[in-house]
Copies of this chain bind each other. A is one copy, B any other.
Amino acid sequence: MTDLAKTERSRVKRLHERGRYDFESVARILDSGFICHVGYVIDGRPYVTPTSYWREGEHVYWHGSSASRMLRSAQDETDACLTVSLIDGLVLARSAFHHSINYSSVMLFGKAVKVEDPDHKLQALENFVERMYPGRWAQLRPANAQELKATTVMAMAIEEGAAKMRTGNPVDDDEDYGWPVWAGVVPLRTVAGVPADDGRVPADAPGQPAVAGLRHLGIDPA
């Protein structure tokens, strides 16, 4: 796996010691979440859309309705910025200035390309379901041609971008450490509650997700 290109737009300029460009760091963060924010430019103006994503090797994928404005605007390919942000904690310092957030993030730049080949598209959607809920694809009512047509799948190579992270305690000015205020970190996690079926599930139907089985999505049991 190739490390990411450190370009003018991807180089972490602010607090550059927080930046990482190696593929493993980027992939580890991508593989710890499932919601990204994708930025597009339409008529010169920015749009930011939250959506699910998944990684396959050196590409990220996301999908949406073929009728969506964002995905329609992508003809063959379109400039995109895909950002994943995982929030780990609140950082309370002794001055307002040094308050912060602990996080891991990835910002990827590139050309978003529509996956046109039906076999590739179907395989990508299977990978998506399996990434979210391992073993589920085979349990589902099979996808049909109409659904496949109604779904647009976008792919972007993981080539240009950066990971960025902050961990640990507040970093206050030396002279502030005696200041009489609490300072430290409040850790944050995403947790799953008890799965609730919709009341129309046949007895003994398989596929109820185990709450402890969502850790790969960055979701802990409550």
Residues of A within 8 A of B (CB): 9, 13-14, 35, 37-42, 44-50, 52, 64-65, 67-69, 79-83, 85, 87, 90, 92, 94-97, 99, 101, 103, 105, 107, 109, 125-126, 128-129, 132-133, 136-137, 139-143, 147, 150-151, 169-170, 173, 176-202, 204-209, 211, 214, 219, 222
Closest-CB distance, A35 to chain B (whole angstroms): 6
Do most interface residues of chain A lie in helix, strand or loop, or is the interface mixed?
Answer: mixed
Cβ of A46 and Cβ of B52 under 8 Å apart?
A: no
Cβ of A195 and Cβ of B186 under 8 Å apart?
A: yes
A198–B187 Cα distance when bound, in Å, is: 13
Q: How many copies does the complex hold?
A: 2
| Residues of chain B contacted by A189 (CB below 8 angstroms) | 190-191, 193, 222
| Residues of chain B contacted by A142 (CB below 8 angstroms) | 95
Picked from B42, B83, B188, the residue with its CB within 8 Å of the CB of A50 is: B83
Cβ of B13 and Cβ of A69 under 8 Å apart?
A: yes
Closest-CB distance, A70 to chain B (whole angstroms): 9
Cβ of A133 and Cβ of B92 under 8 Å apart?
A: yes
Closest-CB distance, A175 to chain B (whole angstroms): 9
| Residues of chain B contacted by A178 (CB below 8 angstroms) | 202
